[in-house]
């Protein structure tokens, strides 16, 4: 049990679909993050939320839309994705914004067809 | 441009021997370094870290060494066990653009053979 839960674990979607990834943590952490891991590439930071406020958007295309309704939940809304968006999407949380070790969820394996 | 580089995509070691995973970084502003371990179908888990004011940090079988002048750090696992087989990510943290940012390397896949 990592303390950070992501659903679904696997997702296959068409390029015209709309889907959402969900992340949940009950560790009392104030910062939450979305990372993307593509094959043979480093983990890429996508979004950072601190106390429910987005503090960083790492030049992510608008077809990815994050939402943080409260400090325990983080969503990543997806629409009109491209096949190259297929990757492992990881959610993480930390006590404060990146000044302590981040705890990662198990990830959502996304395939865009 | 990659700021954190793990130049060996894979490493194979015999059980009981030492595993040495290397990591180089380019940004001199990085002041905190972490190693994460990742099993297939799981998210990365924190393993060990080191602050730039230290040159060594030890936790059981795991030791991280930091050479600031060479901008190089390494993770030593002694003795290596088959359960250590995983992908190891090096990560660095430091102020960038007014905020802290955690930057990861591509990872090194370690295989420990029985």
HEC readout, chain A: CCCEEEECCEEEECCCCEEEEEEEECCCCCEEEEEEECCCCCCEEEEEEECCEEEEECCCCCCEEEEEEECCEEEEEEECCCHHHCEEEEEEEECCCCCCCCEECCCEEEEEC
* Token duo for residue B59: 């936790």
Read off the pLDDT band of A1 (50, 70, 90).
Answer: very low
CA angle A67, A9, A38 (to 5 degrees): 80
- Per-residue pLDDT band for A18 (boundaries 50, 70, 90) equals very high
Q: What is the pLDDT of residue A91?
A: 92
Q: Which of A40, A41, A107 sits opposite B43 (nearest CB)?
A: A107
Q: Across the interface, which of A55, A56, A106 has its CB nearest the CB of B43?
A: A106
Q: What is the pLDDT of residue A100?
A: 54
Q: Do B44 and A101 touch (CB under 8 A)?
A: no
Query: In B, which residues are within 8 Å of A98 by CB distance?
Result: 93, 99-102
CB atoms inside a 10 Å sphere around CB B60: 8
Subunit contact B43:A104, Cβ cutoff 8 A: yes
Residue scoring higher pLDDT (B39 or A35): A35
What letter would DSSP give residue A30?
S
Residue A108 and residue A77 in contact, taking contact as beta carbons nearer than 8 Å: no
Residue B75: strand, helix, or coil: strand
Q: Average pLDDT over chain A, rounded to whole?
A: 87
pLDDT tens-place string over residues A88-105: 899 988 887 755 567 888
Give pLDDT tens digits along chain B (114 positions).
Answer: 678 999 999 999 999 999 999 999 998 888 889 899 988 767 788 899 898 889 999 999 999 999 999 999 999 999 999 999 999 999 987 765 444 567 888 889 999 999
Contacts with A42 from chain B: Cβ below 8 Å: 2, 4, 103-107
Q: Indicate the length of chain A as a whole number.
A: 113
Instruction: Give the model's pLDDT for residue B96.
Output: 54
Are residues B100 and A102, on separate chains, in Cβ contact within 8 Å? no
């Amino acid at each position: 049990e990592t303390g950070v839960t992501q659903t679904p674990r696997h997702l296959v979607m068409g390029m015209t679909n709309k889907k959402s990834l969900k992340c949940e943590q009950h560790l009392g952490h104030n910062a939450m993050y979305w990372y993307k891991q593509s094959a043979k590439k480093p983990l890429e930071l996508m979004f950072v939320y601190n106390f429910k406020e987005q503090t960083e958007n790492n030049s992510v295309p608008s077809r990815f839309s994050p939402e943080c309704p409260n400090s325990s939940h983080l969503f990543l809304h997806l629409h009109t994705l491209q096949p190259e968006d297929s990757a492992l999407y990881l959610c993480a949380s930390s006590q404060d914004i990146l000044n302590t070790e981040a705890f990662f969820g198990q990830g959502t394996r996304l395939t865009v067809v | 441009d990659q700021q954190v580089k793990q130049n060996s995509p894979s490493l194979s070691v015999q059980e009981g021997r030492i595993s040495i995973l290397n990591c180089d970084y380019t940004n001199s502003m990085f002041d905190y370094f972490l190693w994460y371990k990742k099993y297939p179908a799981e998210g990365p888990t924190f393993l060990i870290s080191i602050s730039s004011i230290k040159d060594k940090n030890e936790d059981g079988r795991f030791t991280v060494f930091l050479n600031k002048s060479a901008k190089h750090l390494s993770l030593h696992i002694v003795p290596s066990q088959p359960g250590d087989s995983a992908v190891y990510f090096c990560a660095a943290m430091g102020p960038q653009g007014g905020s802290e940012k955690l930057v990861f390397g591509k990872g090194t896949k370690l295989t420990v053979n029985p």
